[in-house]
Structure 1
Amino acid sequence: MNSTERFKKVMDILKEFDLGNSPINHSFFDKLSEEEMDNQGLIKQTVNKLLSYQERVSLNTNTYPEYVMQNLRQRRGLDKYDTSLDDQLSKMSKDNAFKEVVNWNGLLGGYDYTIKSWVKDIYGVNLDDIK
């Protein structure tokens, strides 16, 4: 199946389940192999995962914005849409969440402190004072 056929297949699935066309919705199905795209049971399971994710995000129970939560999830080895540890991740201190996001994005070796010092020196805002 070429990329055009695959896209059409995903669009058909999204239409069948009245899910709407969005990059996030597509990404749930992009992970499926060509054979899996013909497995109705797996498609329904993927639809349920997508609906569960959408419901969790719509409730907005997390401390941090969704893009930060995606970084924190991936840092733990989870899929960026796997909300299974969100309650735990939302309880992270701002310092730990910042450090994790900085590290996940490739800034290793204490850059969380370096960035905070830049913000303080440039903007006059001490992020450690913000609770």
Structure 2
Amino acid sequence: MVERSSVHEQGLKIIYVIEKLGKLDVVMDNDLSIDLILQSLLSSFDQFIMNFNMSKLDMMVNELVNMLVIAESTMKKDKTVLVASTCKAHKGKMGKKKKKSSSSKGKQVPKSSGGIKKKANIKEDKYFYYG
């Protein structure tokens, strides 16, 4: 499998080769076909392969390809979220100062985006978690 190619295309190529071998009277059972598909995948699918082998699922080759397509779409979504969260954290460090009201001096105010509580104090401004 090539780095930027789709797992669906790869699965269809392997199924085509297996069917072609069947026409040449080469007998391959379902387990061997599944192992052939799993061995042709990139290293980014290692976690999927390990989970598949540990759960010992009994399925056909086309069902495996469908599961791989779902796993691939999930991996793409995870990468997108990681980039978004990295950018969001970077913006927080750029430092937009919030206005503090005089009524919140010395009180704990929950921070809405980060989940870390901050003590609002003019003299000393510390995060509780980091000190």
Larger radius of gyration: 2
**Which structure: greater strand fraction?**
2
Of Structure 1 and Structure 2, the greater helix share is in 1
TM bracket, shorter-chain basis: 0.3 to 0.5
The answer to which structure, 1 or 2, has the higher relative contact order (CA under 8 A, 6+ apart) is 2
